[in-house]
Amino acid sequence: MRCYRVGGSVRDELLGLPVHDADWVVVGATPGTLEQLGYRPVGKDFPVFLHPQTREEYALARTERKVGAGYCGFAFHAAPDVSLEQDLARRDLTINAMARDEHGALIDPYGGREDLEAGWLRHVTAAFAEDPVRILRLGRFLARFAPLGFKVAPETLALCREMVAAGEVDALVPERVWQELRRGLMEPAPQCMIELLRNCGALAKILPEIDVLFSVPQRADYHPEGDVGTHTLCVLAAAAHLELSESARFAALVHDVGKALTPAAEWPRHPHHDKNGEPVVVELYRRLRVPRQCAEVARLVTRYHLSVHRASGMRPGSLVTLLERLDAFRRPERLEAVLGACEADFRGRGGSPEQIAQTAERVPYRAAAAIRQAYAAASPVSARTFVEQGLRGPEIGRAVREARCQAVAASRDRSKFG
């Protein structure tokens, strides 16, 4: 029995990045062998075990064979005679198909180190085409490593296009799409994942609501960066630069989908795209089965991002109304995600995604400051105070609202006169 450290830990070590988790491949053993040594089985589809001390994952060397459509259509074979090279051959990218033996020697049968040094994301073998999830994973790795200068190898991009044309992407299930998409959104350059999916044709299959935006023009005085799709990439770059949460980044991705519904006769203006976009986003997040927190933030940002942008010029009553519509008093934890996505929208214009990702904040986003100040002033107002005064029914709601408006007005006066 021989154990090899494989995959991401070897890759990140060679890149000089922190190594958080290590995965291992075991050659020359059976499940019974590992269980006798105290390893605990955890794999459902193929033999994976947890080390009795380190709790790291140890998988038996295995091969795989395509037997059906989609990413679930595989038969796995794990046996003592499967070699390390055979196991590495089934991996997605050459940079993930390296190993170190017990002495620390690098084992690199598919040129992973050379591709690391040259900055290429390249498939290991043609078996890459058998699993459509690998297109999403490729996008995720591009979103992670593009800031380091990595690009997708031309032959790998061509293979992805062939996979899309063959209908492999059609077999993806919503849960898996969301799992990979959410991870890609949290990488340093999430816009690169969307660009890759679009370049190979997968975006039109997975997120057609986003793909269509690249053919929709906008007013150049507001959006010199280009069409709505390009603006969306810029907003994602800004969201990553601002280190926003997952829910805020998803909202940044989908916030302008309503512009695809604007009649061409009205271009490049997009009146009511906020209202028009709300049902589109609802359908999108239901289809992908997006978690409730992300889904609701995306809906609120899509519907109210224009209102948020105008907040610094609003009267106290309008600010309270906006806070109510954002459900800030009942669910304050969503407010920062909404404001973060709106700030990314504010900053995601005027340059390329790369320029925006590398540029610090140039001017303050006054709208967010106005809303935070209004919320801080209005949120302490409690209905209990008016119940104790004897008010009932609708009278309570009217009194709460009036008190909140007065609190916001007083706060504004204090900040004005200081």
What are the helix (H) ranges across 20-123? 31-36, 84-89, 112-118
Convert the pLDDT of each residue in 102-159 to its tens digit: 999 999 999 999 999 999 999 999 999 999 999 999 999 999 999 999 999 999 999 9
Residue 329 and residue 377: Cα distance in Å, rounded? 11
Separation of alpha carbons 374 and 328, rounded Å: 11
Q: How far apart are CA 259 and CA 274, in angstroms?
A: 8
371: amino acid identity, one letter: I
Q: Which amino acid is at 76?
A: F
Element (H, E) at 18: none
Confidence tier at 70 by pLDDT (50, 70, 90): low
CA 70 to chain centre: 22
Q: What angle do CA 267, 345, 326 make, to 5 degrees?
A: 105
Q: Pick the range with the lowest mean pLDDT from 51-60, 62-71, 407-416.
A: 62-71
Backbone angles phi, psi at 326, to 5 degrees: -80, 0
Average pLDDT over every residue of 214-234: 95
Confidence of residue 71 (pLDDT cuts 50, 70, 90): low
Q: How far apart are CA 198 and CA 274, in angstroms?
A: 24
Instruction: Tell me the chain's radius of gyration from C-alpha atoms.
Output: 26
For residue 147, say if its preceding peptide bond is cis, omega within 30 degrees of 0: no
Residue 72 has pLDDT above 60, yes or no: no
| Most distant pair of Cα atoms in the chain: their distance | 82
Residues 6+ apart with CB under 8 A from 94: 110, 111, 112, 115, 120, 122, 123, 124
Asked whether residue 394 carries a pLDDT value surpassing 80, the answer given is: yes
Nearest to 199 by CA among 163, 160, 155: 160
Q: Give the pLDDT band of residue 362 (cuts 50, 70, 90).
A: low
DSSP label at residue 93: B
> What pTM did the predictor assign?
0.92
The string of DSSP codes covering 186-253 is TSS-HHHHHHHHHHHT-HHHH-HHHHGGGG----TTT-TT-SHHHHHHHHHHHHHHTT--HHHHHHHH
Q: Which residues contact 210 (CB under 8 A, 6 or more apart)?
A: 194, 203, 229, 232, 253, 254, 257
Q: Evaluate if residue 357 carries a pLDDT over 90.
A: no
The token pair that represents 68 in the structure block: 């059906």
Give the integer Cα–Cα distance in Å for 411 and 418. 10
Residue 236 has which token pair?
Answer: 């994602």
Distance CA 217, CA 331 (A): 36
Element (H, E) at 375: helix 366-378
